[in-house]
Amino acid sequence: MPASPLPSPLPDCRPLKRVTIHTDGGCQGNPGPGAWAAVLQYGRQELEIGGAVAATTNNRMELQAAIQALSVLNQACEIVFFTDSQYLRQGILSWIHGWKRNGWKTSTKEPVKNVDLWQRLDSLVSRHQIEWRWLKGHAGHPLNERCDVRANAEMAALRKTMSPAQLAAALSEFNRTNGSTPDR
């Protein structure tokens, strides 16, 4: 009996690259000026990235750190992802499934906070195999501390480029368009 033809094209059978990611995000005031940072490691290679926003929340910066870290990767990877944010970890592992089923509404039928970022993160996560690990923040874990230092440096740099009046105006606009609940 002749062998059946193989499907074409063949699936990529190469092993996924193993990447470790550490992230952190924070705010000075919640809401207030905020920043995020990430350290990505692949073998002996390492990349540190970060950014800042004039007016945001802590949770938005935790999400932004994950989004930016995953955006750097140009192919599917096997990732061990470290975060000190239970909001990020629980959200992506558990809550997001219900939100999607409910049309991006919570169990109480309220709109999901930070839905724009959750949707971006969801699309990025789908192409990777990710093990999400929580670690206690400010507990001496070297790469988590490094992310915290970088995020704080990003906030300090932002404060040097914007006057207090500009920061206040950005915060006022953020509160006007997003409400004033700090956990959004």
Q: Please state whether the peptide bond connecting residue 9 to the residue before it is cis, i.e. omega within 30 degrees of 0.
A: yes
Q: Which two tokens stand for residue 6?
A: 């193989």
Domains and their CATH numbers in the chain: 17-177 (3.30.420.10)
Residues assigned a catalytic role? 24-25, 62, 84, 138, 148
Residue pair 48/150 in contact by the 8 Å Cβ criterion:
yes
Q: Which residue has the tokens 């074409």?
A: 8
Token duo for residue 49: 């990235």
CB atoms within 10 A of CB 54: 19
pLDDT tens over the chain, length 184 residues: 555 555 545 455 568 899 999 999 999 999 999 999 999 999 999 999 999 999 999 999 999 999 999 999 999 999 999 999 999 999 999 999 999 999 999 989 999 999 999 999 999 999 999 999 999 877 778 999 999 999 999 999 999 999 999 999 999 999 998 875 555 4
Residue pair 170/162 in contact by the 8 Å Cβ criterion:
yes
pTM of the shown model: 0.88
